Amino acid sequence: MTILEIIVLLPILAAITIAFGAPARATSLIAAIGVAICAFVTAMPNHFNVSKEGVSNFSFQYFGETGFQGRKVFDIDGFPDISLAFGIDGISMVLMLLTAIVSLAAIWISPKEDAIKGSSKLYYICCLLIGAGAMGAFLSTDLFFLYAFHELALIPTFLMIGIFGVGANRVKTAWTITIYLGVGSLILLLGLIATMSGLNAETFDIPSLIAVARESGMEQQAQMWIYLPLLIGFGILVSLFPFHSWAPNAYADAPTPVAMLHAGVLKKFGLYGLIRVANPILPQGAEALTNLILILLVGNIIILGLVTIAQKRLDKMLGYSSVMHMGYVFLGIASGTYIGTVGAVLLMFAHGISIALLFALSGALRDRYGSLEFAKLGGLAKVIPAAGLLFGFAAFASIGLPGFTNFAAEVMVFFGAFRDFDGTFGPLQWATILALWGVVISAVYMLRAFRNIFKGELAAKLPKVSDLNWAEKLPIFLLLGTLLLTGFVPELLIKYLRPALEGLMVAVGG
């Protein structure tokens, strides 16, 4: 068994042992720590060789021309060929690290068994399966299992919101997200079937599909009609405008660990699918629909940014903020340039860590005060100063201030959009100029939230509460430290992305 198989299967095995009677919290923490250790070992230079001349070479795996050919665990006979196979390149490396860090923080910050209303075993099993599903999707080199692992992560998400969620509307929210994401997954499945049919492919192996696509000679019109359902399917899963309305309520009503895992990690699956599958296989289709993508991403950034400003509750504001920032990632992908795509993947990592940090702090406030309405809070920095300081850092990261990973990523996205600028403003440049106003919008709603919650006079009738304890601070420090470390030294992540995306851009033709 390779280290990648351990990373994917360890949380699943931990969930099984919990179902048979193992201590839920202790087993989950051990599994999350084990996955994190394995992930960082994988990223070590003696295992993952970063070479500018060639593809990233992982010593436990085999690689093809795309640098993403997996080692098979087992085959399923049939037509097309299906294989459970795990592989890694720089893109999946960065998302693997994201998943490991957020999963550890989410399980660490989860309540103890006796504080959970309902089955603590089910609670921790669902958290483990969400992380395992995301990890399996990012590391699978077979298209069938890439899709299947994502579906594995969605089922416990629905259960967690409906059973352990907060608020009177949690059941309605669970059904809404089930319908939305179920429809999105169905549309995506139809797009994947159309892709396989259009290529006459005999395998689900992703590198092989890319190689077949290069030689297929499929016309742009055909590629466009196949790419469209992929865009809609992946777009619904990412909450691309106007398919976004499921996300804010889902995050507001979800338990804190689920909001961290879904907004921070699982939402990146749709973006990853576009970069890994849709764009390399159907590059002309992506090019034909670029203007449509630009219109929709501007909707994410501007329209939903203004909606975010109008929110009166912190959890709903963070939900809309998360949806809004997906527009920047789409902008990096739509740029079709190397630097823009690197910025998009880096922003996926940065956003995942920062939104998980914000939801962790939001959950701590809700646990103490029972409400996240701005009108009912105020002046909290006087009684919980550590929470106020950490929230300020998290807000600065979300805005994209220098020193945080978000800043480096957003700058690369904006530069990528003007990489081939010849003095004539086209749709991409105009969309980028509009997107720049999103930075101002982000500053408005995040600083407004910080002022309403932590500054001013202490709100009347608030209960006396304690500040963050060390059990809460440590996972928050893990997330904040990651943002600062990779913000000051983004090369720590870019060195993995460089060779992988150079090879991928050749496949896309960019």
The DSSP line for 39-83 is HHHHTSTTTEE--SSS--EETTS---TTS-PPEEEEEE-SSSBEE
Burial class (CB in 10 A: 0-12, 13-18, 19+), 200: exposed
Token pair recorded at residue 200: 């006459």
φ, ψ at 28 (rounded to 5°): -65, -40
pLDDT in tens, 218-265: 788 888 999 999 999 999 998 888 888 888 888 888 899 999 999 999
What string of DSSP letters covers 72-86?
Answer: EEEEE-SSSBEEEEE
**Which residue, 30, 234, 32, 239, is CA-closest to 137?**
234
Mean pLDDT of 179-183: 89
103 Cβ partners below 8 Å, 6+ apart?
A: 11, 32, 35, 36, 127, 131, 134, 135, 261, 265
More confident residue, 134 or 47: 134
Which of the four pLDDT bands, split at 50, 70 and 90, describes residue 66? very low
Burial class (CB in 10 A: 0-12, 13-18, 19+), 45: exposed
φ, ψ at 280 (rounded to 5°): -70, -35
Euclidean distance between CA atoms 278 and 225, whole angstroms: 12
471 Cβ partners below 8 Å, 6+ apart?
A: 108
Mean pLDDT of 2-10: 89
**Bridge-based pairing state of the strands 82-86 and 71-76:** antiparallel
pTM of the model: 0.90
pLDDT in tens, 341-380: 999 999 999 999 999 999 999 999 998 888 888 888 888 9
> Is residue 314 within 8 Å of 251, Cβ to Cβ?
no
Domain boundaries, the chain: 3-508
Report the chain's mean pLDDT, rounded to a whole number. 86
Report the share of the chain in percent with pLDDT over 90. 47
Mean pLDDT of 426-453: 91
Mean pLDDT of 102-126: 90
pLDDT at 58: 37
pLDDT in tens, 207-220: 888 888 888 777 88
More confident residue, 226 or 420: 226
Bond from prior residue into 11 cis (ω within 30 degrees of 0):
no
Euclidean distance between CA atoms 310 and 46, whole angstroms: 50
